[in-house]
Amino acid sequence: MWLPFMQARPPAQLTLISLLTFSLIRLIIFYIHLRWWGVNVIDLQQKAFYRVQHEPDNPNTISDKIVRAIADDGTCIWVGTHSNGLNRINKNSKQITRYLHNKSGKSLSCNNIRSLLLNQDLLWIGHTNGLDILNIKESNPKIQSLNDICNFPNDEVTGISKDCFGQIWAGTWNHGVIRIIQKDNRFECTVFKESQPATSAFTPPKRVISLYADEIYPEVFYSSGEQLVRLMLNEEGQVMHTIQYQADESNQYTLNSNFISTIRRQNDSVLWLGTLGGGVNRMVLLDGNDYKAASIKTGDSQYQNIECLEIDNNNNIWAGGNRLYRFNPFNQHLQEFKIPGGMNSYKIGSSFISSEGTIYMGGIDGFIYFNPAEIKNNRTLAHPNISYIEVNNQKKEFC
């Protein structure tokens, strides 16, 4: 189901005892007197967000209520669900194709999707039993399991990312970080906890909560929930150095949470991190192994747990937890966007920004998408005039 929505309060029952009619000057705005919320304002000029949800009795909706991963290839949106497979949504026709596990050799290995990555014609699909690939250009694509073709471990894949050498990196729950190199139709997997057991960044096997491989700089970042790990790559794409960062309560300029849910890079030295317990952190990488971090201060307790984060084309930070926020780093303004119909509670790993700048965020009730460039605040002040009021069907005129 495709539902446009605008920033507004939840629906409320119209009052039966009073009706206010306003003459509007220069603005297309409705003023509605509501029983519980007073006078509400709906700005019809405000650009819409959009929400896509599961409908149990409608086969042309996404196959599950909970969305865990999203990707956009320009023509289609790919949606990975918590427990009911993969969906392909044609952006023009809105037609939805579902991919589910079955006993044939061409299906998904598992319906519990946790991560997606588009790399040229291949869609990489991480799930709770390993990693699959699908050629998006094929009309009836055959899904291949990397567990079968390169001995990828049977483990939950929490994140997938591509580095500047074209290497694919996968974060897993029990086997740490894994690198996949594709050579023609062959794939080679390196499980670093096995290949470099003496490196503290890889052993003991660390779960990977979030993963970010940089397509410009030869670096990979991932979080174990206990620390942030930085892998420095040499000219051949091999790991030559590792750095581990942790929060320090005694130092106000460090991270304020080790549980980093999302990692995004703004430039060569600045990272933006979504955390559980510490909101959004801005991390500046310094020379050597040092860094400096600062968190966005707010009195909103809901803001402390951020599971999704994306940077738009104007360097605004969009952060999703139980609510959706936009932070402007230049004027330090933090704005909340409320979603009619209730909270979506966005999920770790479920956000994506397309080449056109559209941001997607998945959660416990479908996913939302929007173009940040179209989300503008109406700064024109309204000047309403009351023409009449009715109380118990008795009209009173105002001159």
Same domain flag for 295 and 333: yes
pLDDT higher than threshold 80 for residue 131: yes
Q: How many CB atoms lie within 10 A of CB 78?
A: 23
Dihedral pair phi/psi, residue 370, rounded to 5°:
-165, 155
Q: Are residues 89 and 13 in the same domain?
A: no
| Residue 399: pLDDT band with limits 50, 70, 90 | low
Residue 195 has phi, psi (to 5 degrees) of: -80, -25
pLDDT of 36: 45
Q: Give the pLDDT confidence score for residue 92 in this predicted structure.
A: 94
Provide mean pLDDT across the span 334-360.
Answer: 87
What Rg, from alpha-carbon coordinates, does the chain have?
Answer: 24
| pTM (2 d.p.) | 0.84
Q: Is 388 exposed, middle or buried (0-12, 13-18, 19+ CB in 10 A)?
A: exposed
Q: Please tell me whether residues 289 and 385 are part of one structural domain.
A: no
pLDDT category at 395 given cuts 50, 70, 90 is confident
Least confident of 38-47, 61-70, 355-364, 377-386: 38-47
Say yes or no: 233 and 317 in one domain.
yes
Confidence (pLDDT) at 19: 38
* Token pair recorded at residue 328: 């402007």
Residues 108 and 14 in one domain: no
Half-sphere exposure of 259 (CA within 13 A, CB side): 10
Residue 106: band (very low, low, confident or very high) from pLDDT cuts 50, 70, 90: confident
Place of tokens 């920033």: 7
Number of domains in the chain: 2
Domain CATH for 67: 2.130.10.10
Range(s) of the domain holding residue 131: 47-375
Who wins on pLDDT, 67 or 391?
67
Rounded to the nearest angstrom, the gap between the alpha carbon of residue 147 and the centroid of all alpha carbons in its chain is 27
Question: So what's the pLDDT on residue 342?
Answer: 61
Confidence of residue 44 (pLDDT cuts 50, 70, 90): low
Is the domain of 251 the same as that of 140? Answer: yes
User: pLDDT of 150-209, one tens digit each?
Assistant: 989 999 999 999 999 999 999 999 999 999 999 888 999 999 988 888 788 887 767 999
On the question of pLDDT at 14 being above 50, the answer is no
Instruction: Please check whether residues 146 and 238 belong to one and the same domain.
Output: yes
Question: What percentage of residues in the chain have a pLDDT greater than 70?
Answer: 84
The answer to whether residues 132 and 172 belong to one domain is yes
Please check whether residues 350 and 384 belong to one and the same domain: no
Shared domain for 27 and 146, answered yes or no, is no
pLDDT of 18 > 60? The answer is no
Q: Check whether residue 257 and residue 392 sit in a common domain.
A: no
The pLDDT score that the predictor gives to residue 39 is: 54
Residue 20 has pLDDT above 70, yes or no: no
Q: Do 207 and 248 fall into the same domain?
A: yes
